[in-house]
């Protein structure tokens, strides 16, 4: 039980040596801890078997070495990942067959196993995680715990300063002061729109009606983005702590996490986290000896993109079909059961404990003038190091794609980076040096969205990709409003004609007009943003459209009817 800040400190003291060892990288010593990644990527590559084999071998050798499983490091391509402490020796592609050698040579003999280390072609192997290029240019603050602590053990979270922000808030801050800190930090919503989080909280605080609710949006609808999943699986308590602080700030005593059922592991880890937090007294009545009561429960999303939109999400949570409604009223005034409701994204909430623990000044010192803090991006598509990364706002796409992502495979040419998923557009190869933040991406005709980056190269056809996104948006349209239902369908038809060589140049004008109409007249964000991809590709890749129309040719060689 954690009844007070002192109880939290006691756990921290007790586990500090273990945690500190994991934080000090770069010094070899007698191995004492082995961490095995059990993120989804590593599990599918067999990390559970590696974990079992390690436990067995360590027991057989009678070694005094602990084995812990962690969340995702983000470098899924290299899985299964195993890290040995002290030092943080970073092993990749470890199979159960390699385990005896790893145990014998490194854990018993103290000699790292060279051929299991990360290595760039023609270079020496890299011993420590911090020196691997993929990690070197990152700034992992929200993801700091993912890959470092056991997400199924609340004490490890506590030992790494977990729930310290909550303890301080309950003891020292009025709700207004909390909102003030969050506002000053400049934190903006990571779910897409980039609305100031503190401002949203202030609205809900000011609303008269009771009860109030906190909802965590863990629907992660952008197909191709998986940062929320990594947080939920790697550091679930950070999200719970963020919700607790939000609850205290706006005066809510109930929180709901709307999590998509496509993420069974995230659901399981959240269930464990909620149970442990309840048992520890961090959820329930009189939390940490204060007058604050708060509890959290889960609510499963069942596979509809539009349910990530906040008004649709609320309807879905209330057991209806997840169809959006016009705003205002905003959920902060009338949300769940018509009561004031804060809806925040997973990553937004995971930033909250950091801001309250380390101060708004610290947070506001990271990033660009109007976009503060870091952003987590998932990088996928035609890139060597697919995975999950965290960088300061304002980092250029070039740094992400080349320095961290390792560039495009097989020496092919980069064409564009798609951002913002079905609501976004693309950044063409010659604009990669623009520092990324909410504003700069909007200027380029795309959006930050949730942070999914899809790297496209010369083998991808921009017209085909546009058709893919619009088809998706059309399928996911709830059908309530005509512009979205009919307009998107009409645009898909035009794109069909273009990709099958049956289009005229006038079609491009109609496509553009339709895109503007749908954008301006749709009921919800889905329809309002779906045309972005059309407008963006027309802006940067008009010649590719024209090649399809005039020359009946697909330059990327993707559109089958046009291959001669």
Partner 1 sequence: MDRRRPSGQERNYLILDKFIERYRGRPGGLVRILFKAQELFGYLSPEVQTYVAEKTGLPASHIYGVATFYSRFITEPPGKYSIGVCTGTACYVKNAQAVLDRFQAALGVKEGETTPDGMFSLRTTRCVGACSLAPVVTVNDDMVGEVTPDKVADVIRRCREAEAEEETERVPERRRPERDERAAPPGP
The verdict on 424 binding partner 1 (CB under 8 A) reads no
Nearer to ligand FES by C-beta: 383 or 498?
383
Shortest distance, CB of residue 136 to ligand FMN, whole angstroms? Answer: 29
- Report the nearest approach of ligand FMN to the CB of residue 348 (Å): 3
276 dihedral zone (left: phi>0; alpha: psi -120 to 50; beta) = alpha
Residue 407 sits in the site that holds partner 1 (CB under 8 A):
no
Q: From ligand FMN, ligand FES, partner 1, none, which one binds at residue 189 (CB under 5 to 8 Å depending on kind)? A: ligand FMN
Q: Which is nearer to partner 1, 62 or 319 (CB)?
A: 319
Q: Which of 380, 401, 408, 462 binds partner 1 (CB under 8 A)?
A: 380
Decide if 112 contacts 158 (C-beta within 8 A): no
Nearer to ligand FMN, 399 or 471 (CB): 471
Instruction: Report residue 444: phi and psi, to 5°.
Output: -80, -5
* Contact predicate 356/377, CB 8 Å: no
Residue 220 binds ligand FMN (CB under 6 A): yes
CA 268 to CA 359: how far, in whole Å?
Answer: 32
Q: By C-beta, is 224 or 359 nearer to ligand FES?
A: 224
Asked if the bond preceding 86 is cis, omega within 30° of 0, the reply is: yes
| Residue of the chain from 151, 234, 452, 531 that contacts partner 1 (CB under 8 A) | 452
Q: Which residues bind ligand FES (CB under 6 A)?
A: 223-224
Stretch of residues binding partner 1 (CB under 8 A), selected from 21-29, 95-103, 118-126, 218-226: 218-226
Distance separating alpha carbons of residues 374 and 386, to the nearest angstrom = 19
Task: For CA atoms 184, 189, 194, 195, give the dihedral sign.
Answer: negative
For 328, other C-beta atoms within 10 Å of its C-beta total: 8
Residue 514 interacting partner from ligand FES, partner 1, ligand FMN, none (CB closer than 5 to 8 Å by kind): none
Which residue, 72 or 523, is less far from ligand FES as judged by CB?
A: 72
> What is the token pair recorded at 235?
């550091």
Q: SS3 sequence, 479-510?
A: CCCHHHHHHHHHHHHHHHHHHCCCCCCHHHHH
Choice between 107 and 414, CB closer to partner 1: 414
Interaction with ligand FMN in 278-317: which residues (CB under 6 A)? 306, 308-310
CA distance 489 to 486: 5
Choose the binding region for ligand FMN from 93-101, 189-197, 231-239, 436-444 (rule: CB under 6 A).
Answer: 189-197
- 543 vs 177: CA distance, rounded Å: 54
Residues binding ligand FMN: number (CB under 6 A): 22
Site string for ligand FMN, 142-181 (x = CB under 6 A): ----------------------------------------
Token pair, residue 282, equals: 């961090």
Establish if 189 lies at the interface with ligand FMN (CB under 6 A). yes
Q: What is the DSSP string of 115-146?
A: GGBB--TTSPPB-BGGGSHHHHT---STTTTT
Find, among 85, 549, 84, the residue nearest to 94 by Cα.
Answer: 84
- Residue 191 interacts with which of ligand FMN, partner 1, ligand FES, none, CB < 5 to 8 Å by class: ligand FMN
DSSP one-letter string for 245-298: HHHHHHT--EEEEEEETT-HHHHHHHHHHHHHHHHTTSSBSSGGGSS--BEEEE
Q: What is the dihedral of CA 406, 408, 413, 416, to 10 degrees?
A: -90
Q: Residue 225, interface with partner 1 (CB under 8 A)?
A: yes
- Which of these ranges, 60-68, 221-229, 344-352, 512-520, lies near partner 1 under the rule CB under 8 A? 221-229
Q: How far is the CB of 56 from ligand FES (least distance, A)?
A: 32
Contact residues for partner 1, defined by CB under 8 A: 40-41, 43-45, 76-77, 220, 222-226, 229, 256, 258, 261-264, 297-305, 316-322, 336, 378-382, 386-388, 418, 421, 452, 454, 456, 460, 465, 468-469
């Amino acid at each position: 039980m954690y009844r007070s800040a002192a109880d939290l400190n006691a756990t921290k003291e007790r586990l500090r040596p273990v945690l500190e060892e994991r934080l000090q990288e770069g010094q070899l010593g007698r191995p004492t801890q082995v961490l095995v990644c059990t993120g989804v990527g590593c599990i599918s590559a067999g990390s559970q078997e590696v974990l079992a084999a390690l436990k067995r071998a360590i027991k057989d050798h009678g070694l005094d070495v602990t084995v812990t499983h962690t969340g995702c490091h983000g470098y899924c391509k290299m899985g299964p990942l195993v890290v040995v402490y002290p030092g943080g020796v970073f092993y990749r592609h470890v199979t159960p067959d390699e385990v005896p050698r790893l145990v014998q040579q490194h854990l018993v003999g103290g000699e790292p196993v060279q051929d299991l280390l990360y290595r760039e072609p023609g270079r020496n192997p890299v011993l420590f995680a911090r020196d691997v290029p993929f990690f070197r240019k990152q700034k992992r603050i929200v993801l700091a715990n993912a890959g470092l602590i056991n997400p199924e053990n609340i004490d490890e979270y506590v030992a790494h300063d977990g729930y310290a922000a909550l303890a301080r808030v309950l003891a020292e801050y009025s709700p207004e002061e909390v909102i003030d800190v969050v506002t000053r930090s400049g934190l903006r919503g990571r779910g897409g729109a980039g609305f100031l989080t503190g401002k949203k909280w202030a609205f809900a605080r000011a609303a008269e009606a009771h009860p109030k609710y906190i909802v965590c949006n863990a629907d992660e609808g952008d197909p191709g983005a998986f940062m929320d999943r990594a947080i939920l699986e790697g550091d679930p308590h950070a999200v719970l702590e963020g919700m607790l602080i939000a609850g205290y700030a706006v005066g809510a005593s109930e929180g709901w996490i709307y999590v998509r059922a496509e993420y069974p592991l995230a659901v399981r880890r959240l269930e464990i986290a909620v149970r442990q937090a309840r048992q520890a007294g961090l959820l329930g009545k009189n939390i940490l000896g204060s007058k604050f009561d708060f509890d959290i429960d889960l609510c499963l999303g069942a596979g509809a993109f539009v349910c990530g939109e906040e008004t649709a999400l609320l309807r879905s949570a209330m057991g209806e079909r997840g169809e959006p409604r016009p705003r205002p009223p905003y959920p902060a005034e009338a949300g769940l059961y018509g009561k004031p409701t804060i809806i925040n994204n997973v990553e937004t909430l995971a930033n909250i404990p950091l801001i309250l623990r380390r101060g708004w000044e610290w947070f506001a010192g990271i990033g660009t003038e109007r976009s503060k803090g870091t952003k987590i991006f998932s990088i996928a598509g035609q890139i060597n190091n697919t995975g999950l990364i965290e960088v300061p706002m304002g980092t250029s796409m070039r740094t992400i794609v080349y320095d961290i992502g390792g560039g495009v495979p097989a020496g092919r040419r980069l064409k564009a980076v798609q951002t913002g998923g079905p609501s976004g557009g693309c950044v063409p190869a010659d604009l990669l040096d623009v520092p990324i933040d909410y504003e700069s991406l909007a200027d380029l005709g795309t959006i930050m969205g949730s942070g999914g980056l899809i790297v496209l190269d010369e083998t991808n056809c921009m017209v085909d990709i546009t058709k893919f996104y619009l088809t998706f948006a059309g399928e996911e349209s709830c059908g309530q409003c005509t512009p979205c239902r009919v307009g998107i369908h009409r645009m898909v038809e035009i794109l069909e004609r273009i990709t099958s060589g049956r289009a005229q140049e006038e079609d491009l004008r109609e496509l553009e007009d339709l895109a503007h109409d749908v954008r301006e007249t749709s009921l919800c964000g889905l329809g309002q943003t779906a045309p972005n991809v059309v407008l963006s590709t027309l802006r940067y890749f008009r010649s590719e459209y024209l090649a399809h129309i005039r020359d009946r040719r697909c330059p990327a060689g993707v559109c089958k009817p046009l291959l001669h």
